[in-house]
Amino acid sequence: MTSSLASRGPLSRVRSRRSGSRVDTVVVVTGAFIALLVITAVFAPWIAPSDPNFGSILSSNQGPSAAHLLGTDSFGRDILSRLIYGARLSLLGPALIIVISTSIGTVLAIACAWFGGWFDQVVSRVADILFAFPGLILAMLAVAMFGPGLVAPVIALSIAYTPYLLRVIRSEALRQRNLPYVAACYVGGLSARTICTRHILPNVTPLLIVQATLSFGYALVDLAAVSYLGLGVQPPTAEWGIMVSTGQSSILAGHPQESLFAGVMIIVTVVAFNLLGDRLAARQSTGQS
């Protein structure tokens, strides 16, 4: 799993035969799921049935029951509560990565499109070299430098994701920049900053949203992998990647529930983001054609 996944982009060329105005079930279902997830994460203390960090060895590795809907982990902690609390860091980390990398990527992309010339050349060359570093490798370099935790991997992955977003947005910004309306604005006496922020930026925003949505799932996977490797946030913090890792020792003893449930949460969340991104991309391309 790596940041390069971010550039996989939408694969489906499927054009929905339904008209764009009608409600799209996929968008509604995935959007609702993601919203629900975010609400759960925000209100975790009110929603979680138990304390995610309290458990008794006496009740370790229990199967699902009325008291513990998804059972308990090897420390006797309630898995459901840990999943609910875990959603906080598991979603916050990728969200930070996406915000940072899309912000930097967009600013650089529009600047490249606007200035062109040597600036564009230099930025593109640097991006090319960054492509040579899989995100996870950058994250490990960062951990070697600054030690494990949330900050170093998030910054490293943000850097790794930036060139992918930059490349996609740059080509769209370049297209916009060469459309007649930009020349008209220029002739009309608008400043470069106004044209870029008021005209080019809004026009690349739909693409930006699609790319950010698609990248989110992969950022989640990458960051969870960092935690799984023990390079991110540390136990006993509840986080899905850590849960997969700590649960692994119980698998051999026949108690796979902690790892499996955490793994399923990751898969389902990533599927939701991918489906949403794909569908948004498909709608966008039909809207353009």
Partner 1 sequence: MRLITRRLVSLVLTLFVASIAVYGALFLAPGNPATLLAGGRATPAVLREIERQMHLNQPFITRYWEWLVGVLHGNLGQSYVYRVPVTTLLAGRVENTIFLVVYASIVIILGGVILGVTAATRRRVSPIITVGTSIGLATPSFVAAIISITVFGVDLKWFPVFGAGSGFTDQLWHLTLPALALATSWLAYTAQLTKAAVREELSREHVETARSRGIRARHVLTRHVLRNAMIPITTVSGLTVAGLIAGDVVVEQAFGVNGLGSFLVQAALQKDFASVQAVSLILVATFVVINGAVDLWSLALDPRLRAGASA
How many Å apart are CA 131 and CA 97, to the nearest integer? 17
Min dist CB 262 to partner 1, Å, is 8
CB of 116 to partner 1, least distance (A): 21
Q: What is the dihedral of CA 219, 119, 126, 227, to 10 degrees?
A: -20
Tokens representing residue 258 in the block? 């902690």
Do 157 and 172 meet the contact criterion of CB atoms below 8 Å apart?
Answer: no
* Residue 283 and residue 21 in contact, taking contact as beta carbons nearer than 8 Å: no
Task: Report, in Å, the least distance between residue 23 CB and partner 1.
Answer: 21
Q: Write the burial class of residue 210 (CB in 10 Å: 0-12 exposed, 13-18 middle, 19+ buried).
A: buried
CA dihedral over 52, 58, 61, 67, signed as positive or negative? negative
Nearer to partner 1, 72 or 90 (CB): 90
> Closer CB to partner 1, residue 211 or residue 259?
259
Q: To the nearest whole angstrom, how small is the minimum distance from the Cβ of residue 189 to partner 1?
A: 40
The SS3 assignment for 140 reads helix
How far apart, in whole angstroms, are the C-alpha atoms of residue 269 and residue 17? Answer: 27
Nearer to partner 1, 90 or 176 (CB): 90
* Least Cβ distance, residue 272 to partner 1 (angstroms): 9
Q: Which is nearer to partner 1, 83 or 143 (CB)?
A: 143
Q: How far apart are CA 209 and CA 14, in angstroms?
A: 19
Peptide bond into 236 cis (omega under 30): yes
Q: How far is the CB of 148 from partner 1 (least distance, A)?
A: 7
Enumerate binding residues for partner 1 (CB under 8 A). 1-2, 4-5, 7-8, 11-13, 128-129, 132-137, 140-148, 217, 221, 224-225, 228-231, 241, 244-245, 247-248, 251-252, 254, 256, 259-260, 263, 266-268, 270-271, 274-275
CB nearer partner 1, residue 139 or residue 182: 139
Virtual CA dihedral for 135, 137, 138, 140, nearest 10 degrees? 120
First CA to last CA distance, the chain: 34
Shortest distance in whole angstroms from residue 131 CB to partner 1: 8
Q: In the beta sheet, which residues pair with residue 72?
A: 78
CA neighbours closer than 13 Å in the CB half-sphere of residue 54: 4
> 29 vs 251, which CB is nearer to partner 1?
251
Q: Rank residues 11 and 57 by Cβ distance to partner 1 and give the closer one.
A: 11
Shortest Cβ 99–partner 1 spacing (Å):
22
Angle at 1 between CA 156 and CA 107, to 5 degrees: 40
Smaller CB separation from partner 1, 52 or 241? 241
| Block residue for tokens 């991309």 | 281
